Structure 1
Amino acid sequence: MKQQHVELLAIGAGPANLALAVALEEMAPDDLVENTLVVEKNYDIAWQRGLLLPWTQSQVSFLKDLVTLRNPRSAYSFVNYLHATGRLDEFVNLGTFTPYRLEISRYLEWVASSLPRVRLDYGRQVVAVEPFREGDRITGWLVRFADESTVHCRDISFGIGRDRHVPEQFAQLPDERVVHSTEFTAKVSRLDPAAVRRIVVVGGAQSAAEMLWASYQQFPQADCTMVMRSIGLDNYDSSKFTNELFYPSSVDTFFAASPEARAQQLQEIHRSNYGGLAPGLLDSIYREMYLERLQGGRRLSMVTMTDVADAQKDGDEVVLTLVDRRTGRTEELRCDVVLLGTGFSKRMPAVVRDLAAAIGLDEIAVDRSYRMVLPETATARCYLQGVNEATHGIADSLISVLAVRSGEIVTDLLAGRHPGPPPAGPDPGAAGLLLETLPQN
C-alpha cells in the first residue's frame, strides 16, 4: 500500500479543480504549487462526459473559460487554446460565443496537459475521506482510494459535483434497461439499433431533450417518447437582465441576502439553467414532430403533465405506470429502455456527507470563500466547489464563476497558510505504508 503526502489535494479534474490548478500556477508560491495534487477517477478528461455529443453546444460564452474573467492575459484562456492548436481563424469565422461541447472538452484536456507544476493523477477513485487528528485538532485529511493507496494532505478541494439523481421507482430496474444522462453516450453505444424499438425519456429539460434527439437519430426504427411533469418544453430564460445574476460579482449580493430572498431568486431563475432548453434544440424537435404529423408518422412523441409512479421489468419489456396529473388516470407504457434526464441530487455528495459525519458536524455549511465551516480547533481546510447554490447562487454549479472563484479560493488558502512543510501524516510504519513525497519539479 502506498501513501502520498501533499499540502493540497484536489479531488476531481473537472473544470472547477482545473481552474483552481491554473489559479495556483499563476498566484501561489512554488512550494504550494509543487505540493498540489489533482486526482481524477477516469483515465482522461471530458466535459459532460455522458452527453458529449458532436452537435451539442455550451450555453455559456467562451469568455467564461477557466481564467479570462480573473486574468484576461492568462496563457490558459480558451482563445489561447485555439491559437495554440491552429483553430483560432476557424472559430472566429464560425461567428459564435458558444463553442461546441466537444471543443470545450478538448480545451480542458489542453489545459490539464499544459500545467507545468501542478500534478494530475488519473484512474484514482476516492472511496473515503477522513479527518486526521492530532489531539483535539484536525490538522489534515486522509484520503483512501479504490486501489488501497492513500493520500495525506493538509488542505482539500472537492470538485466532483453532485451525485446523480435516480428516482426510487427506477432503482430496481436492470442496469441495461435504465440509463442516466451521465452515462448516456457510453451505455447507448452498446445497444443494438435493430433490437431497440421503444425508448422512453423521462424529464423535460436540456439533458432529457438531448437524449431524445440523439436516440431519435441513432435508432431509426424506434419510437421515442418523452414523459415529463411540466406542461411542455420551454426555452431557457436567457434575457440579459437574467444573465446578470450569473456575474461572479453577484455572488456577494446573493451570499449576503436573507434566506427568503435567496429562495425567491433560485425559484425565479430556475428556468435559466434547469427548467429549459436551448432554443435551437427545441425548434429542431418541434419541427421534426410537425413534419412527422404532416407525413402521417408518429415516431417522436411527448406525454406532458404526467408522473412515472412505478417501473417494473416484465420479461423483455420495461413497464412504466403513468399517472396523468390533470385527471389522475393511470395507464401503462411499455418500452425497451428508459433514459433518465432527472438531473442531480440536491444533497451534498455522499463522500462529503460522510466526512462531515466523521467530523461530528450537524450540518454542512461553507463561508464566502467556499471553505467548509469546521470546529474552531481545526487548522486543516476543506473547500467545496459546485455544490453551494443555496448560499452562493445558481451559477455555483456552472462555468460562469470558475475563474473568479478559483482566485478567491487561492487567496483564502494563502491568507491562512502555515509556512513550511505540511504536517507529518500517519505513521507509515504502523500501517505498513510507504511514504512518498511529490517530486519538486
Structure 2
Amino acid sequence: MSVHKVNARDSGRDRQVYDVIGIGFGPANIALAIALEELEFAGSRLFLERHSSTKWQPEMMLAGSDIQNHPSRDLVTPRNPRSRYTFTNFLFENDRLFEHLNLGLEFPLRSEFAEYVRWVAGFFAKDVAYNQAVTTIQVDPASNLYCVTTQTGNQFFARSLVLAPGRTPVIPQAFADCAPDRVFHLTQYLGRLAQLAQQRELKRVAVVGGSQSAIEIMLHLRHSYPQLEIINVQRGYGFRLKDTSQFSEHVYFPAFVDQYYNSSAEAKKNINRHLHYTNYSAADADVISELYVGMYEDKLQGKDRITIKNLSEIQSCTPSAQGYTLTVLGTQGQTAEQLPDLDAIVLATGFRNLGTGAQDERFPAILRDLAESLDCDAQGVIRIGRDYRLSARKGYSLPALYLNGLCESSHGYGDAGSFSLLSLRARDIFNSLSEQLGQVEPAERIA
C-alpha cells in the first residue's frame, strides 16, 4: 500500500494507525470526542475536518435566530451533566452566566451556541486535522485497515471509522442546472447573498420552502434590504405552526429511539405521518408572528414587499436577461404563473434522508467507495445497527464502521439534525467501539 507525502502540519501522523478515525468534526463527532475522553477510551483517535476550523451553521448566523431546543440538550449534558463541556459551564467560564440567565430567552441565540461549539472543539485541537476533505475510503485486505485519503494527498489509517459528514442539501430538479451564485441552498445563504449584493442592487429575491429557515431568511432579507421585493413559494397553504406539544416532544427522548428502531417499516411510516410537523414544514410561533406583523406593517405604509405564493409547485427555473424566471403551478386551480427578473433564489428545501424517495439517498456520498461491501435492504438502502454500526454484506468483510448522525430513517426524529440525543448517541457508539476493538494495543505505523 503506497503512502503519499503529507503536509508538514500532519507529518507526525503519516503512516500512523489509529484505533478510530472520525470523519467530520461538527457537533456529532465533537460529542464523540468528549465521550472518548470522559469514558476513558484507551485507544488512539484522530478527527478529519474539511474546513479550516470547526463551524456550525455559519451561513445561517442571522441576527436574533435561536437554536430551537433547550440549552441543556447540548453536546454532553444528557450523558454527563457534571461535565466541564456543558453549555452552562461554557457560560460560567466566559463570565456570561448571569447575563445569559437574565435574558429570559427560552432558547439560546444561534450565534452564542455556535461559539459554544467552537469553544468545546478547541479543547480537542490536538486530535483534529483540519483542511482535510476526504476523497476516498478504502479497506486494505492485507491489514484489514481503513485507508482514508484526503484532497491534500494525505493518507490516514484506522482500525475503525466514525462518519459524521453532515446532511446532504436537497436541490430540487428544477434548479439542478442553475448558476450557483444566483440560485443556492440555505447552507450557502449569507456568503452568496453578500457576493451578489456587492455586484448589483438586489430588487427581487425568491425564497422556496415553508419551513422555519424560510421564514428566518425572509425576515433577514426584509430587515437588511428595505427596498427588496421578497417572493415566497411553498406547497402548503401558509406557514404552519410547529408541533411542540410536550407529548409530541417525546420523540427526542432516548426511549423513543428504541421504540422507533424496533418498529416495522409500515409502523415507522405511520409514526412519521403523525410526527412530521414536529420537525418539518413548520415553524415556531415567534418567527411566524414576526413575519405576519411585518407584512401588516408594510401594508400600513402602502408597501407590498412580501408575496406568498402558496399551494404552488415549481415547474421550471430559466435564466433571463435580468436574472431568473420561475414558472410556478398553482395546484388548486392548475394555473401556471411566471415570476420574472429574480436576482436570487434561496432554496430552503431541506436535506436528504436515507431511503428511496425522490429526495432521498440510499447511502451518504462519502460511503460510495464502500457501497458494494455494505449490507443493504432489498431497495439498496444501507442497514444501520441499533449501535449505529454498518455491517458488511454476505461475502464481504469490513472493520468497525459507524454513522454518527443521518440515521433518522432507522432511529427516528432524534437523529434529524438535532442536538437532543447527540451525547447519548456518542455513548452508544463508544460502547460498541470498545467492544468491537477489544483490548486496544499501542498505536503503530504503516511501514
- TM-score, length of structure 2 as denominator length: 0.89
What residue number does 2:180 align with?
Answer: 175
Task: Give the 3 Å change call, closer, same or farther, for CA 229–87 of structure 1 in structure 2.
Answer: same
Shift of residue 279 of structure 1? Answer: 1.1
Q: Aligned equivalents of 1:332 and 1:209: distance in 2?
A: 22
| Cα 1:144/1:406, change in 2 over 3 Å | same
| Alignment RMSD | 1.9
4+ runs of 1 displaced by more than 6 Å?
A: 422-425
1:91 aligns with 2:100: yes
Asked whether the 8 Å contact 1:131–1:359 carries over to 2, the reply is no
- The question of whether the paired residues in 2 share the 8 Å contact of 1:248 and 1:400 is answered with no
Q: Aligned partners of 1:133 and 1:418: how far apart in 2? A: 20
SS in 1 for 2:136: strand
- 1:413 matches 2:433: yes
User: Deviations 1:382-401 (Å, cap 9, x if unpaired)?
Assistant: 11122111110011121100
Q: Which secondary structure state, in structure 2, belongs to the residue aligned with residue 387 of structure 1?
A: coil
Q: Is the 1:292–1:299 contact (alpha carbons within 8 Å) kept by the matching residues of 2?
A: yes
Q: Deviations over 1:306-357 (max 9, x none)?
A: 1111001112320111111011111110111101001112223211244223
Deviation at 1:409, TM superposition (A): 0.7
Describe the superposition over 1:199-245 as per-residue Cα deviations: whole angstroms up to 9, x where unpaired: 00011101111111111222222101100011110111101000111
338, 343, 366: which one aligns with 1:336 = 343
**Partner residue of 2:372 out of 342, 346, 357:** 357
The CA deviation string for residues 136-183 of structure 1, in whole angstroms up to 9 with x for no partner, is xx8231111111111111111111222111111111111221121001
Q: Deviations over 1:34-78 (max 9, x none)?
A: x11111111122222221213110111011011111111111111
- Structure 1 residue 420 displacement after superposition: 4.0
Distance 1:133 1:97 in 2: 52
Are 2:385 and 1:367 equivalent residues in the alignment? yes
Residue in 1 aligned with 2:137? 129
Residue type matched to 1:111 in 2?
A: V
Paired residue for 1:435? none
Is contact 1:153-1:422 (8 Å) kept? Answer: no
8 Å Cα contact 1:180-1:340 kept in structure 2: yes
- Residue ranges of structure 2 left out of the alignment (5+ in a row): 7-13, 354-360
**Which aligned pairs between 1:208-219 and structure 2 lie closer than 5 A?**
208-219=214-225
Say whether residues 1:100 and 2:137 are aligned partners.
no
Distance in 1 separating the partners of 2:439 and 2:34: 21
Distance 1:201 1:261 in 2: 34
Equivalent residues of 1:10, 1:156 under 8 A apart: yes
For 1:338, the aligned partner's letter is: I
> Residue 28 of structure 1 contacts residue 410 of structure 1 at CA under 8 Å; is this kept in 2?
no
* Correspondence for 2:10: none
Relative to 1, partners in 2 of residues 1:75 and 1:332: Cα closer, same or farther, differing over 3 Å? Answer: same
3-state SS in 2 of match to 1:65: coil
Q: CA deviation at 1:288?
A: 0.8
Q: Percent identity?
A: 30
AA aligned opposite 2:166: G
The 2-side partners of 1:161 and 1:56 are apart by 21
- In structure 2, relative to structure 1, the CA distance for the partners of 1:315 and 1:205 (3 Å cut) is same
* 1:129 alignment partner, SS class: strand
What is the alpha-carbon distance in structure 1 between the residues aligned to residue 283 and residue 299 of structure 2?
22
Which stretch shows the higher mean deviation, 251-260 or 11-20? 251-260
Indicate if the aligned counterparts of 1:67 and 1:76 stay in contact, CA closer than 8 A.
yes
Q: Give the match for residue 232 of structure 1.
A: 238
**1:139-178 correspondence runs (5 A):** 139-178=144-183
State the 1:421 CA deviation.
3.4
**Structure 2 SS opposite 1:189:** helix
The answer on whether the counterparts of 2:182 and 2:196 sit within 8 Å (CA) in structure 1 is no
Change (3 A) 1:359 1:249: closer
Structure 1 residue 4 displacement after superposition: 4.2
Bigger Cα displacement from structure 2, 153-162 vs 14-23 = 153-162
Matches within 5 A, 1:239-388: 239-334=245-340, 335-346=342-353, 347=361, 348-357=363-372, 362-375=380-393, 378=397, 380-388=399-407
- Larger CA deviation: 346-355 vs 225-234: 346-355
Q: Distance in 1 between matches of 2:238 and 2:391?
A: 41
Select between 354-363 and 61-70 the one with higher mean Cα deviation.
Answer: 354-363
Contact 1:45 1:105 in 2 (8 A): no
Q: Which amino acid counterpart does residue 38 of structure 1 have in structure 2?
A: F
Question: In terms of mean alpha carbon deviation, does 44-53 or 391-400 score higher?
Answer: 44-53
Are residue 189 (structure 1) and residue 226 (structure 2) matched? no
- Secondary structure of the residue that 1:25 maps to in structure 2? helix
Residue of structure 2 aligned with 1:12, choices 24, 35, 56: 24
Matched, 1:28 2:28: no
Counterpart secondary structure, 1:240: coil
Structure 2 residue aligned with 1:431: none
- Between 67-76 and 361-370, the greater mean CA deviation after superposition: 361-370
How far residue 295 of structure 1 moved from its aligned partner, in angstroms, is 2.4
Residue pair 2:313, 2:329 contacting (<8 A) in 1 also: yes
One-letter amino acid of the counterpart of residue 39, structure 1: L
Distance 1:321 1:379, change over 3 A: closer
CA distance in 2, matches of 1:274, 1:113: 32
Q: Distance in 2 between matches of 1:351 and 1:420?
A: 27
On the 8 A contact 1:385/1:396 being kept in 2, the answer is no
Alignment partners' CA distance in 1, 2:442 and 2:255? 33
Q: Aligned-pair distance for 1:379?
A: 5.7
- Equivalent residues in 2 for 1:420-435 (5 A)? 420-421=440-441
What is the CA distance between 1:249 and its match in structure 2? 2.2
| Paired residues of 2:373 and 2:398 also in contact (CA < 8 A) | no
